[in-house]
Amino acid sequence: MDAASSAQPAPVTPMPVVVLISGSGSNLQALIDGQARGELPIRLCAVISNRAKVRGLERARAAGISCAVLNHREFPDRDAFDQALQRLIDSFAPQLVVLAGFMRILTPALVRHYQGRLLNIHPSLLPKYPGLHTHERALAAGETEHGATVHFVTEELDGGPAILQARVPVLTGDDAETLATRVLRQEHIIYPQVVQWFASGRLRLDEHGQVRLDDQLLPEPLCLDEPAAASGSDYPL
Ligand code: GRF
């Protein structure tokens, strides 16, 4: 056997990732599980929450991930909090920072610092319904479909280039809770997918601020429809 035919594929170094949360952490759980199943070439090096005693921290501890709480109320203003947050994140040297239900608006300085390596998931089909109460607003507007979007974070709130969306039909009788539950189930599919693309070097934000997957420009986000994506796992909310 010559050297070429006996060569093993080079081992993939898992990408260090820091996840920021404020609450339940079901999207965090989807990443933990994807990583544990060997589907995500990542190392979850830390979970940072701005709230103590949230379920997401319990999930992180159960998975043996370092946890830190940085309470925004202990800082005089947003700039001071974000400067401390940036120092804390950088102490783990991540190549990717994942916002997973982190309920704080980030300062432009922090966003710029992580440009191209900061992802968020938002529970609407952006550009529709940036901000809060997305499910209520989609129902009040009589939408027939709703969903979630994974995007690169820019200085515009929920306005960064979208990568992947999950579309969910609005059903007769839906209220905000039932709709949120079905949307969240799809979030647990699309967020790990995007993280997998990024961590394996397939996804990037180019120098013009546009999304490229396998070097192809994505002028529009890719989209999964609920039936196609419905086989995903079911995380307790
Ligand atoms: C999700 O709906 C996500 O889209 C939004 O916050 C929620 C977080 O849920 N940004 P969880 O904490 O991951 O369960």
Question: Which of 59, 121, 134 for mutating ligand 1's site (highest number of atoms within 8 Å of CB)?
Answer: 121
In a domain, 2, yes or no: no
Give the pLDDT score at 236. 45
Give the angle 133-139-144 at the CA atoms, nearest 5°: 130
Same domain as 126, residue 110 = no
CB 82 within 8 A of CB 109: yes
Burial of 137 (0-12, 13-18, 19+ CB in 10 A): middle
CB 53 within 8 A of CB 206: no
Residue 119 Cβ contacting ligand 1 at under 6 Å: no
Of 61, 96, 114, the last residue of a domain is: 114
Residue 179 Cβ contacting ligand 1 at under 6 Å: no
Whether the full predicted model's pTM is greater than 0.85, yes or no, is: yes
Active-site residue, 122 included: yes
- Say if residue 153's pLDDT is above 50: yes
In a domain, 23, yes or no: yes
In a domain, 3, yes or no: no
Of 114, 134, 149, the last residue of a domain is: 114
Residue 150 Cβ contacting ligand 1 at under 6 Å: no
Give the pLDDT score at 227. 60
In a domain, 4, yes or no: no
Q: How many domains does the chain have?
A: 2
Residue 66 is part of a domain; what is its CATH number?
3.40.50.170
CB 74 within 8 A of CB 101: no
Domain span holding position 148: 122-232
Question: Ligand 1 centre and the CA of 219: distance in Å?
Answer: 25
Same domain as 53, residue 85 = yes
Same domain as 150, residue 54 = no
pLDDT band at 225 (very low <50, low <70, confident <90, very high): confident
